[in-house]
Each structure stands twice: as C-alpha cells, then as structure tokens.
C-alpha cells in the first residue's frame, strides 16, 4: 500500500486513487498532442532533408537495350540508368514523384494520425467520467460528428466551451479539418465534394498537388495547435481544478 494513504480510511483511499487515475487520463490527452506536435517537426525536417538531398538516394546501374537504327541489324547497347529502388528515371519522373507527390502522402498521414489519436484520447476522458458515475455515453445524433458528440458529453459534465478561442478551435477542427481528413480517408485525397473545394479556396495552407489535397506543414501545426488548446482546457478544468 502507498505509504501516503496509511492514515486514510478505505473510502478515502479509493477516492484518492480514483482522483489520481482521472488526472492521468486527462494528462494523457495533453501529452499525446505534445508528442505529436514534436513528431510533426521531426517529420518535416526529415521530409525537407530528403527532398534537398534527393540525388544522394539516386543510384545508377548499367543496363542493356536492343537498338535498331532502321537500316542495319539491331544491336545491343549498354547505357547508364538512374533509379530509386528499381524505379527507373527513364519510365518515371522520379524526382517529381519522390520530392513533390509522396511528401503529400506523408503529411496527410500525419493529419489522419492527429485526428484519430485526439478523438481517442477525448473519448477516454468521456468514458472515464461516465464510468465514475456508473452512467453510459449517449448515442451520437445522426447530424453530429464524433468530435462534437464527445465535446457535448464533456459539456454535460460541467465543462464550458463557450470561450471565443475554444469555439474558434472547435469550429476550425470540426467544420474544416475534419472534412480534409475525411477526404483523404474516404476519397483518397481527391476533392470530389463541393464543400472541400470551398475549404481549399479560403485556406492559404491547403492546395492541390497532382489532383490531391496538399496539406501543408503549417496546416498540420494549426490543427495540432487547436487540439492542444482544447486538450489543455480539459486538463486544466478536470485535472487541476477538478470541476468534474
């Protein structure tokens, strides 16, 4: 038994342990975003380093090819072929693919990761609060997103998200970033829906590359920043002030 709890009754010990568990659950939400924000920076440095030093990863190999000038007998000629892991420069624009298109895939994967982990950690908090009260999470309304539903659940426990900055963060995440994320998850990044087109038009951090939504590094940090603001608020209200 923890020496700090020796002078408490069994009921008081349970309350203290439960309080600690709650603290760790809400702390995990904030910590998750902190680590992901750091990883975003590291990922971008790696992407930029790769693009800046692309030639270092290009290899050359001697290849043979049959050549015919249209008059004489065909002959075998030896030439040098540039490639990246067997992907030939004679068949593909390897520099364009690896330094312009594939980084788009890498950044969108971070957006998907940010979204899934943030939702999962917020849900952990909601489920903990329900378990604490022996209640169950309510069924999500059809016209509500998962994120809105989880925040509504937190509101039912006494959290107030009416602050202007919190509302702006929620609106940005739920009315914009969520649709960009969904476009990649469900449509492979193709902006097929009219709403996505309007979102891209009004954002200086989103563009189109090779017909796909290009999520810039600055956009990822904007998403992570909004999540961090909400996570910090939840941590402060529940973990520090213990409002619920």
Does this model's pTM top 0.75? My answer is yes
Q: How confident is the model at residue 71 (pLDDT cuts 50, 70, 90)?
A: confident
User: Is the pLDDT score of 144 beyond 50?
Assistant: yes
Do 104 and 217 form a contact (C-beta atoms < 8 A)? no
Q: What percent of the chain has pLDDT over 90?
A: 77
pLDDT at 37: 97
Residues 6+ apart with CB under 8 A from 167: 161
DSSP characters over 40-79: HHHHHHHHHHHHHTGGGG-EEEEEEEEE--SSS--EEEEE
Q: Within a 13 Å sphere around the CA of 42, how many CA atoms are in the beta-carbon half?
A: 6
pLDDT at 22: 84
The string of pLDDT tens digits covering residues 184-199 is 999 999 998 888 999 9
The string of pLDDT tens digits covering residues 73-98 is 788 877 889 999 999 999 999 999 99
Higher pLDDT: 240 or 107? It is 107
The string of pLDDT tens digits covering residues 206-229 is 999 999 999 999 999 999 999 999
* Cβ-based neighbour number of residue 158 at 10 Å: 11
pLDDT at 17: 63
């Amino acid at each position: 038994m923890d020496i700090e709890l020796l002078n408490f009754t069994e009921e008081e010990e349970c309350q203290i342990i439960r309080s600690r568990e709650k603290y760790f659950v809400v702390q995990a939400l904030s910590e998750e975003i902190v680590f992901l924000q750091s990883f975003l920076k590291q990922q971008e440095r790696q992407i930029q380093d790769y693009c800046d030093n692309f030639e270092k990863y290009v290899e050359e190999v001697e290849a043979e090819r049959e050549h015919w000038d249209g008059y004489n007998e065909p002959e075998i000629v030896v030439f040098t072929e540039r490639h990246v892991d067997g992907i030939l420069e004679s068949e593909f624009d390897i520099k364009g693919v690896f330094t312009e298109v594939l980084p788009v895939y890498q950044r969108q994967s971070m957006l998907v990761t940010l979204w899934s982990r943030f939702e999962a950690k917020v849900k952990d908090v909601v489920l903990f609060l329900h378990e604490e009260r022996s209640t169950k999470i309510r069924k999500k309304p059809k016209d509500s997103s998962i994120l809105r539903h989880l925040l509504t659940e937190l509101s039912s426990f006494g959290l107030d998200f009416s602050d202007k900055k919190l509302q702006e963060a929620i609106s940005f995440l739920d009315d914009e970033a969520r649709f960009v994320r969904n476009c990649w998850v469900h449509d492979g990044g193709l902006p097929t829906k009219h709403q996505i087109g309007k979102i891209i038009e009004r954002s200086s951090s989103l563009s189109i590359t090779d017909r796909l939504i290009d999520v810039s590094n600055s956009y990822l940090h904007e998403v992570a920043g909004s999540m961090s603001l909400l996570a910090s608020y939840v941590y402060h209200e529940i973990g520090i002030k213990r409002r619920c």
